[in-house]
Amino acid sequence: MRRFQDWPTRMDAWMRAHAQDAHAYGSWDCALMAASHIDNLTGSQLFAQHAYQYEHEAAAAHYLITLGAGGLEGLATMVLGQPLPSPKFAQRGDVVTFDTDIGTALGIVDLTGLRIAALNPSKTGFIRLPLALATAAWRV
């Protein structure tokens, strides 16, 4: 996958367009948010391939198993290849994992290059977390 040359502009517009989207399993969860982001930067069709295949957390976990991913880290590796040697190498637009109270989640490195843009099921829109919380990273 290659990023479009104007990827920063595309990413900024995408972030603004989704700034108030609410978390919903199967339509706007961390995996589908990352898929939409990758689509926006590269022209892939990941979101369309995987959206609306499940409706709740347990079904999402089962869907990952049916894909052969086993989990979100496996999914990111299936789509983007091997993770970077360290999450410290993550740059703007890259996909990262981080730990939450309910398990691992996916996020993206925002345009500052210092924070993770992520979803919180109890809030609308993106939350921002320090990039230092990333546990793994993949180049987009």
pLDDT value at residue 96: 98
**What pLDDT, on the 0 to 100 scale, is given for residue 127?**
97
What would the two tokens of residue 66 be?
A: 């049916």
Q: What is the pLDDT of residue 50?
A: 97
First to last CA, the chain: 7
**Residue 106 CB partners (closer than 8 Å, separation 6+):** 30, 31, 33, 34, 72, 75, 76, 95, 96, 97, 118
Task: Check residue 125 and report its DSSP letter.
Answer: S
At residue 1, the pLDDT reads 85
**Given this model, what pLDDT does residue 33 score?**
98
Low-confidence residues in the chain, pLDDT < 50: none
